[in-house]
Each structure stands twice: as C-alpha cells, then as structure tokens.
Amino acid sequence: MTYSPFIEPFLDMMLAERGAAANTRAAYARDLADAASYMESKRKTKLEKASEDDIRAYIMHELRAAAARTQARRLSSLRQFYRFLASEKMRDEDPTRNIDAPKLGKSLPKYLSEKEVLALIKVVKKVKGYDGARLRAMLELLYASGLRVTELVSLPIGAVLFDRGVVQVRGKGGKERVVPLGDPAVVAVKEWMEYRKISAAEEKKSASATRVAASRFLFPSSSSKTGYITRQRFFQMLRQVGIEAGLAPDRLSPHVLRHAFATHLIEHGADLRSVQTMLGHADIATTQIYTHVATDRLAKTVSEHHPLAGKRKK
C-alpha cells in the first residue's frame, strides 16, 4: 500500500495535540493511505501535492459507490491532513476548502428497549462459572454506565469504587469522568472479582490463569497483546447470548447498549447535561440525538394509543 511520508507526522500531531484515540488514529491512517494510493496510481501525483481537481476525482470516481457517510468521513480526514500541512508551511493552500461534503440524513442510533435489555440480562445470568461472572459484570457495567466498549474492556482493576458506587473512566483524549452505578452493576462486579481472584487459578490450574489473576486490568486476558479482553471477543460473547435472548444479531452490539443507556435515561427524565457528562461527550450537540429518539418513541405511543389520534373507528 502506498503511504505518504507526511501522514505519520500528521498522525503524531493528532495523538499529541488533540488526544486522538488509537482507533481514531488508525481510521485516519487507513483513509489517507487509501487516498495516497489512488493519487499515485490514477492521478500520478503525491497525496501531499494533490490539487482540488485531484481530490474531486478521488471522491467522484473512487468513492462513487460508497455511502454518503463514508464519503464524508474520507473528506474530513483529507481536510484535517491538508490543514495540518498548511499550518506546518508544507503547502500553501488547502485543496479541500471548496469541496462540500455530501449531505447526510439524520441517523438515529439503534438501541434496545428496556424489556429487551432485561431479557438479555436474564440469559446472561444463566451462564455459569468464570466466563458467566465476567460477562455479567461487563454487561451490567455497560448498561449501567454507558461506557464505550474500549473504555469498558480496558478498565483498570481499581476503576470501580464499591464504597461510592461509581466507576472512574479515562475516555477520549485522556479525559477522566466518574459515572454512578446502580446496585446490580456493583454486585455483578463484586461477584466477578471473587472469580477473578480465586476461580481463575483454581479452575484452570495454569500459568496463564496466574498471570490473569495478577493483571492490573479488571477484565484481563492472557491471550491478548493488550493484556485485557478484546472488543471483538466481548462482542462475540454478547452476540451469542443475544441470540439466546431472541435478539437479531444485527441489532446487538456494545454500542447499541451504550445507546440504550442514554435513551432510557432521557425517557425517564434525566437532564441532557447529566447524560452528556456520563457519556463523556465533548459537545452536547452529540448527546441531543437521544432527545430525538425519545421524542419519536413518544410520538409513536401517542399515535397508537391516544383516543383522538389517527382515524376514528367507525
């Protein structure tokens, strides 16, 4: 894959100055490497020297079949890259300045109903032993706090403060926040801690189990390079119990449970600022999407059940 030598300094800047998460950095790297490859193979130029016409050609021809959201993200990556080059005096102008991003329709987040979440928790409670205790703790924590999946899997062992009933989280950009937990989540994590300290070594009788017990992470893994259970593994476990709970596989993911956390709070009267703080959103505009979800649901309820709504029965 073609790779411009100017991409790495840009990615380092995003990490150092803007606190970009590893996943965000990786996404920028993929987008820019793809654009660099196109520029050299089709436009016979370097990414850092591309003109406005080159960028338009890339969007019109290379991305023509991509979804509008994908096109918008790729263009955003290029904008950030060229603004960085301009700020560093590596080029005089930003070739994306006159290019409009595709219009995106309002996309409401997918989420589960309270009944569906309870059904999922009921199935998870039936999973026995070490794996069951871990999955219950992760699920209860996720639904109780609305953590991002990366935040959840990488929690340090002391993140949950049992005496205060809260979880301390280091989110995007290294920003820390404290999120209160309900009793079910606190109890589930306490039960998991007992398995973590004792059952891992006693049941598996292996050196890897000993390393797991000594890990600094709340949800450790001896087979993961990071030292904690991977997002992919948690997703797989979650999807499996979701099927047993009668949920379609494409309706369930860790992020769907984050959406459920926020939506259910709003529906039960939580104020937007509090939800913003708990979710770790930098801009309240990001949180406002959940008010639309709640409003749409209320409108549907009125339409279906109010005696004066819709057509009168004859």
Q: Please say if 177 is a catalytic residue.
A: no
Q: Is 85 exposed, middle or buried (0-12, 13-18, 19+ CB in 10 A)?
A: buried
Among 248, 251, 272, 247, smallest CA distance to 262 is for 272
DSSP 148: -
The active-site residue, picked from 79, 172, 204, 239, is 172
Adjacent-strand bridge partners of 220? 228
**Gap between the terminal Cα atoms of the chain:** 68
The active-site residue, picked from 134, 196, 259, 281, is 281
**φ, ψ for residue 228, nearest 5 deg:** -130, 165
Q: Please say if 264 is a catalytic residue.
A: no
The active-site residue, picked from 136, 196, 231, 258, is 258
Among 167, 149, 168, smallest CA distance to 252 is for 149
Among 202, 225, 222, smallest CA distance to 212 is for 222
Q: What share of the chain is helix, strand, coil (3-state, %, to 5)?
A: 60, 5, 35
Q: Please say if 172 is a catalytic residue.
A: yes
SS3 annotation, 84-131: HHHHCCCCCCCCCCCCCCCCCCCCCCCCCCHHHHHHHHHHHCCCCHHH
| Cα(192)–Cα(137) distance, integer angstroms | 6
Among 245, 242, 216, smallest CA distance to 234 is for 242
Q: Please say if 128 is a catalytic residue.
A: no
Q: Please say if 83 is a catalytic residue.
A: no
The active-site residue, picked from 148, 231, 259, 264, is 148
| Cα(114)–Cα(158) distance, integer angstroms | 29
Adjacent-strand bridge partners of 160? 167
The active-site residue, picked from 56, 110, 177, 255, is 255
| Cα(89)–Cα(71) distance, integer angstroms | 27
Q: Please say if 197 is a catalytic residue.
A: no
SS3 167: strand
Q: Which residues are catalytic?
A: 148, 172, 255, 258, 281, 290
